[in-house]
Amino acid sequence: MKKYLVPMWNYKNHKEKHHLAIIEAENKYQAMLIAIGSHNVVLDDDGWSIEMPKEEKWYIDYDYDNYKEYHPKESFTHLGNNDKINITNNLAQKEDLAVSIYDYMYWGDYNAQIKSLAEKALAEKWSFEGKDDYSILKNYLNYTFKKLQEENKVIETDEYCVFNTGLFSHYYKPIYVYGEINLKASGENASQKWFFKGFKDEYELGKLDLETNSPERADYFSDPNRLIFNWHNEVIVNNRHILDDLNTNKRLPDSIKNSDIPLETLNGVIGKAIEKIKANYKLAVPHYYKNKIQLLVPLCFGKNENPDVALVLDQQKNGNYLATTCLSMEMAYIDARLIARPESNWLMADHIIDNSSYDQEFIDDSNEAENE
């Protein structure tokens, strides 16, 4: 885990004076997601607007490639000519922000544990093309754990903890994480209170004869209708954000970035994509973002049918969809996998090359804590 400095600015001083939030995450991309997910974020014409307490609007710089690491020896930092501020853990996080799965429990060799989970669960591609790092599974498990905390579905007693991974064994039995008190951790400030004891299926957990019932899985939606594209409703595109926002624009292929008529090109590609999902609603893949379900639609800018980016459709109260932004294919897959393994043939892990710059920093067996 590393700590990253996430630039933020006040609505009134848009991009004139930055403040920095310190976000602990396993990589830069996740630092951005944590910062965004910690607030009531809405998309307007200028970017991601964060509605802070007292109705004060803030923005997050979601060009995560440029995030800098925070080193504890520093009490403040500079961003060009911007304000010099004290760095706190609370600037861009809720007081009750969920603990990461890495800080919650001592795992030993985390990579080995993740591999064992992949082998225990139903067969699935957990790494992007050309890699064998289980990055998809690591992201899935960490964010599922945070969602379980929000829903109060992590069971803790004086002796053990247990939570539902949302995954199923080869015999279609739920898989749980089971841990016991880490006897090397003590005191209020002790990290990793729990010691990982294993991934248990329903029968294995029952054999432990626990005093509590098996915990429920994370619940990502309450209205199944939001999982399906409704072709009766209108799609309204935020062209300005997709074309002008630097972070979104860099995800687009060169064919549109170098085009003399980018607006016409974008509208043509989006129009074709919408016609396709009207003909086959299954092409729209649901994904989970900021406590709600949105839909992902493939955008193909080339002559072939290989998508370059995924268009995000956010359904409004009147039923219409706002096409808010575009995600890279790896971002789209990671978000979609929180709900279920994508079954659409355009969003498949083994067809996606992970071009993101975020580090895969995971807990390994270098931890010194031991269970006695």
**Which one, of 79, 61, 62, lies nearest residue 70 by Cα?**
79
Q: In the prediction, which pLDDT does 9 show? A: 66
**Which one, of 123, 137, 204, lies nearest residue 165 by Cα?**
137
Residues 153, 216 contacting (CB under 8 angstroms): yes
- pLDDT tens digits for the chain (372 residues)? 778 888 776 554 444 445 677 777 778 877 777 776 554 433 333 444 444 444 445 567 767 777 888 765 443 333 333 332 222 333 333 334 568 888 899 999 999 999 999 999 999 999 988 888 899 999 999 999 999 998 899 999 999 999 999 999 999 999 999 999 998 765 544 568 899 999 999 999 999 999 888 999 999 888 888 899 999 999 999 888 888 877 777 888 888 888 889 899 999 999 999 999 999 998 999 998 877 899 999 999 987 788 999 999 999 989 999 999 999 999 999 999 999 998 888 888 877 876 654 333 322 332 333 333
Residue 165 CA to residue 142 CA, distance in Å, equals 10
Residue 11 CA to residue 5 CA, distance in Å, equals 19
Q: In the prediction, which pLDDT does 58 show? A: 57
**Other CB atoms within 10 A of residue 304 CB:** 7
Residues 296, 338 contacting (CB under 8 angstroms): no
The pTM of the full predicted model, rounded to 2 decimals, is 0.67
The angle subtended at Cα 117 by Cα 32 and Cα 121, nearest 5°, is 105
Q: In the prediction, which pLDDT does 333 show? A: 92
The identity of residue 313, as a single letter, is L
Q: In the prediction, which pLDDT does 257 show? A: 85
CA distances (Å), origin 261, targets 46, 170, 193: 22, 51, 57
Q: In the prediction, which pLDDT does 313 show? A: 94
Give the phi and the psi of residue 290 in degrees, each rounded to 5. 50, 55
Q: In the prediction, which pLDDT does 24 show? A: 77
Q: In the prediction, which pLDDT does 37 show? A: 58
Q: In the prediction, which pLDDT does 10 show? A: 59
**Which one, of 312, 311, 313, 306, lies nearest residue 353 by Cα?**
306
Contacts of 233 (CB under 8 A, 6+ apart): 315, 319, 320, 321
Residues 92, 9 contacting (CB under 8 angstroms): no
Q: In the prediction, which pLDDT does 356 show? A: 53
